[in-house]
Amino acid sequence: MKEECKKDFERISEYLDGELHDDICREIENHLRHCPECRECVDSLRKSIELSKKAAEEEITPDMRKHLRAALRDCFPSKQS
Amino acid sequence: MKSIASNPTDHHLITEFKAGSMEAMEKIVGRYEDRIFTFGLKMCGHLQDAEDIAQETFLNAFRYLKDFRGETKLKNWLFMIAARACIRKRRKKKCEPDYEISLDSFIHEDGSDGKYEIPDWSDDPSDNVMRAELKRIIDVAIQTLPHKYRLVFNLREIEGFNTKETAEILEISTQSVKTRLHRARLFMREEISKQYMEGRAQ
């Protein structure tokens, strides 16, 4: 991996999260225009981030909802009145 | 006791709970239980553990809510309690020690960062099999992450906290959050691609 590619490889996440200064973003974008390998690296990372975000939703089960409320009512009975 | 407005703020619910309202407590739980449960499940990988984490989090939260001064958002405070519960649970189970993920481990023999096949999340609601398979792949990959990277990954990526909030919840530096998140993402990309290609080869 070339030195310039390695530098970008270390900061892609901050780049994708918009956490870098404008001048560093421009530097990275300039490099990406000329480097297909790094472009592919950024694209695949972006895709895997999006996939993780979308595929990870969960919902508590109705039974667990009930258990949780029962445990809380047991623990704080005096506040029921 | 007067009933609570239809969409009260967290601050209002906390005040009502301190005044003895069970309705306020239930509203707070209803507001955050799915998120805390998801976090527990993504951290521990088991339904029973996720239930334990959710119970411990809310019980501790209401036990100590009188001390909550509101310097941070209620949601962030709940996740701070939940993260500590996950760390305690892991210690009790005497798991293998965490290991570091190095950036060099992602550089392949040819000097590149490798070729990855990452599927698209299907927007087609009829494609439930594909969605279920992708969800399984992501869940397995998250469980493969070393614990301290998983904490950061789940808070940043799944729960949507920003870098500063994640640092505050875990009581680590923002630089540690950035470093761990980047390595966790690279790790996830490897795992997702590997499992996806294995699945297709079968």
- In tens digits, what is the pLDDT along chain A, a chain of 81 residues? 788 898 899 999 999 999 999 999 999 999 999 999 999 999 999 999 999 998 878 888 999 999 999 999 898 875 444
Residue B167 has a pLDDT of: 98
Please answer yes or no on whether A58 and B119 come within 8 Å at the CB atom: no
Residue B5 has a pLDDT of: 67
Cβ atoms of residues A63 and A71 within 8 Å = no
pLDDT confidence tier of residue B145, bands split at 50, 70 and 90: very high
Cβ atoms of residues B43 and B52 within 8 Å = no
pLDDT confidence tier of residue B71, bands split at 50, 70 and 90: confident
- Residue B162 pLDDT > 90: yes
Least confident stretch, A21-35, B13-27, B153-167: B13-27
The Cα B194–Cα B88 span in angstroms is 31
Report helix, strand or coil for A58: coil
Longest dimension (CA), chain A: 70
**Does the CB of A53 have a partner CB in chain B at under 8 Å?**
yes
Q: Which of A45, A57, A69 sits opposite B26 (nearest CB)?
A: A69
Predicted TM-score (pTM) above 0.95: no
Residue B68 has a pLDDT of: 85
Residue A81 has a pLDDT of: 43
Chain A contacts of B37, Cβ < 8 Å? 58-60, 64
Least confident stretch, A47-56, B100-109, B110-119, B161-170: B110-119
Q: Which of A9, A54, A79 sits opposite B121 (nearest CB)?
A: A54
Q: What is the mean pLDDT of residues B163-189?
A: 97
The Cα B2–Cα B97 span in angstroms is 52
User: What are the CA-CA distances from residue B48 to residues A67, B42, B61 (Å)?
Assistant: 12, 12, 20
- Residue B174 pLDDT > 90: yes
- Residue B4 pLDDT > 70: no
Residue A16 has a pLDDT of: 96
Pairwise pLDDT comparison (B110 vs B193), residue with the higher score: B193
Cβ atoms of residues B159 and B79 within 8 Å = yes
Residue A80 has a pLDDT of: 46
Report helix, strand or coil for B166: helix
Q: Is B132 exposed, middle or buried (0-12, 13-18, 19+ CB in 10 A)?
A: exposed
Pairwise pLDDT comparison (A22 vs B99), residue with the higher score: A22
The Cα B185–Cα A52 span in angstroms is 9
Residue B1 has a pLDDT of: 53
- Residue B131 pLDDT > 50: yes
Chain B contacts of A56, Cβ < 8 Å? 38, 42, 135, 138-139, 142, 157-158
The Cα A9–Cα B107 span in angstroms is 10
**Does the CB of A70 have a partner CB in chain B at under 8 Å?**
no
Q: What is the mean pLDDT of residues B106-120?
A: 81
The Cα B52–Cα B56 span in angstroms is 6
Q: What is the mean pLDDT of residues B111-129?
A: 79
